[in-house]
């Protein structure tokens, strides 16, 4: 029977983690909220990313193999909790994929100039190119990690280059005219920014994905903890530097949460006089986007694979392609569900509100499994990491249900969150009952 193949070295796994964790979508949102976001990034790194790195490193050594958080929860709390943990995490990332694709495609079109920006405001066109992006990203990893890992390597490397470029351009602008935004590092408190705080915490998550890939990593007991700490350090550096760079280039109040990167590229051209910076920014953003979409889609597909091996899902989920060595059916199912969620999220509201619904659902459903991850860390003796992780998880979920000022119909917004969150839990319980 075909098996998953060990293809990931320390370099590959570190870039894989960076590609999965770094998201350019959070940069304009953080900059729009003001310089206080820099403090929030640092707090999220200290109170969430570091405890998560401790938990993932410890649990990957204790319970090596494909499935990561599914294996950890199964060993510590039983198959029901393991299945619900994996199911909610899988669905949370299925919500994440279309919302991320919408942002990246909108940003990429805006970086191409006024004509591209016009197409980015067309809901049908944006939805179509987002679907194309999802399937292109998954397809590059479907043919095997030996080839697919280079998608994540390029995506992770592009994030390094993007951070360096933004910092350099901001430095030039600061030298010539100073900062466009006065720097006050205290976070702003109002109901319009509370929902965003959950996004800050979510932006520092994702390290657990490399634990899911344990059976495809060379010497995982050494490689996973080292890659986790290196990636966590870079991700913190990335968010702090890029957020500060946007604030230097553009006043915070003028930064668009959806199109802030295009604004930054225009400001970069104005500050330096180098016209080719805009297409270069577009290439870097799209390369990092493809790396992230592919990396997360690849790793999360290992959860149904592990559950299928325990016969808690149809046996097709753990079927490995004889030539490519990937759980191809599991990956195709994930892409199909993400595409369906992208379509139904558009019903009955504006494009901006549909995007916000996806983000809030992603945070609510995606953060729930961290309660299990930190519970396993507690069992493994990492008590302080568990307490910090639980606290941030609870705060992030509560903040995500507060509507932003972009939501016109609050009842519809909260209704979608409640119904779809309940549907996730109910469907997981029914599936477990069906296949246990």
- Specify whether the CB–CB gap between 245 and 17 falls below 8 A: no
Instruction: Answer with the residue of higher pLDDT: 225 or 400.
Output: 225
Widest distance between CA atoms in the chain = 66
C-alpha distances (whole Å) from 217 to each of 60, 64, 142, 214 are 11, 10, 17, 5
- Is 2 part of a structural domain of the chain? no
Nearest to 338 by CA among 299, 293, 380, 304: 293
Token output for 80: 């029901």
φ, ψ for residue 66 (rounded to 5)?
Answer: -75, 135
- Is 1 part of a structural domain of the chain? no
Summarize pLDDT for 115-137 with one digit per residue, the tens: 555 555 666 777 788 888 888 88
Rounded to whole angstroms, how far apart are CA atoms 245 and 45? 19
Over residues 198-206, mean pLDDT: 85
- Is 299 part of a structural domain of the chain? yes
- Is 294 part of a structural domain of the chain? yes
Token output for 283: 């290439």
Name the residue range of residue 407's domain. 10-435
- Is 5 part of a structural domain of the chain? no
Q: Residue 126's domain is classified under what CATH number?
A: 1.20.1740.10
Rounded to whole angstroms, how far apart are CA atoms 216 and 5? 5
- Specify whether the CB–CB gap between 56 and 224 falls below 8 A: yes
Summarize pLDDT for 77-120 with one digit per residue, the tens: 999 999 999 998 988 888 778 778 877 887 777 776 665 555 55
Distance, C-alpha 379 to centroid of its chain: 27
Task: Return the DSSP state at 256.
Answer: -
**What is the model's pTM?**
0.86
Token output for 4: 């998953």
Summarize pLDDT for 404-435 with one digit per residue, the tens: 666 666 777 677 777 777 788 888 888 888 87
- Is 4 part of a structural domain of the chain? no
Please state the domain count of the chain.
1
Q: What angle do CA 117, 158, 281 make, to 5 degrees?
A: 30
């Amino acid at each position: 029977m075909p098996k998953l193949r060990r293809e990931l070295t320390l370099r590959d796994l570190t870039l894989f983690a960076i590609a999965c964790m770094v998201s350019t979508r959070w940069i304009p949102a953080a900059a729009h909220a003001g310089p206080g976001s820099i403090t929030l990034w640092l707090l999220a790194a200290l109170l969430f990313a570091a405890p998560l790195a401790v938990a993932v490193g410890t649990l990957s050594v204790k319970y090596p193999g494909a499935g990561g958080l599914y294996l950890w929860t199964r060993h510590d709390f039983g198959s029901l909790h393991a299945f619900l943990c994996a199911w909610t995490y899988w669905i949370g990332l299925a919500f994440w994929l279309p919302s991320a694709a919408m942002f990246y495609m909108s940003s990429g079109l805006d970086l191409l100039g006024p004509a591209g920006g016009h197409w980015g405001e067309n809901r049908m066109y944006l939805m179509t190119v987002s679907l194309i992006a999802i399937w292109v990203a998954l397809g590059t990893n479907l043919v095997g990690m030996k080839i697919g890992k280079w998608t994540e390597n390029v995506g992770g490397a592009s994030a390094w280059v993007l951070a360096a470029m933004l910092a350099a351009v901001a430095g030039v602008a600061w030298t010539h005219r100073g900062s466009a935004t006065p720097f006050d590092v205290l976070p702003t408190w109002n109901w319009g920014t509370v929902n965003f705080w959950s996004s800050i915490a979510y932006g520092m998550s994702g390290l657990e994905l490399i634990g899911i890939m344990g059976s495809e990593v060379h010497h995982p007991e050494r490689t996973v903890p080292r890659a986790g700490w290196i990636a966590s350090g870079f991700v913190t550096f990335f968010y702090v530097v890029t957020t500060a760079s946007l604030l230097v280039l553009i006043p915070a109040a003028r930064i668009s949460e959806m199109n802030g990167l295009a604004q930054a590229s225009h400001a970069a051209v104005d500050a330096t006089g180098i016209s080719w910076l805009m297409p270069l920014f577009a290439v870097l953003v799209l390369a990092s986007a493809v790396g992230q979409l592919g990396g997360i889609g690849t790793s999360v597909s290992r959860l149904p694979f592990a559950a299928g091996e325990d016969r808690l899902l149809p046996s097709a989920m753990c079927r490995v392609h004889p030539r490519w060595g990937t759980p191809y059916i599991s990956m195709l199912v994930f892409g199909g569900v993400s595409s369906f969620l992208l379509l139904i999220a558009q019903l009955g509201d504006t494009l901006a509100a549909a995007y916000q619904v996806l983000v809030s659902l992603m945070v609510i459903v995606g953060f729930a499994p961290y309660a299990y991850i930190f519970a396993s860390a507690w069992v493994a003796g990492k008590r302080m990491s568990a307490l910090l992780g639980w606290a941030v998880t609870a705060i992030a979920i509560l903040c995500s249900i507060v509507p932003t000022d972009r939501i016109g119909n609050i009842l519809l917004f909260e209704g979608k969150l409640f119904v779809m969150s309940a549907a996730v839990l109910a469907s997981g319980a029914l599936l477990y009952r069906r296949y246990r």
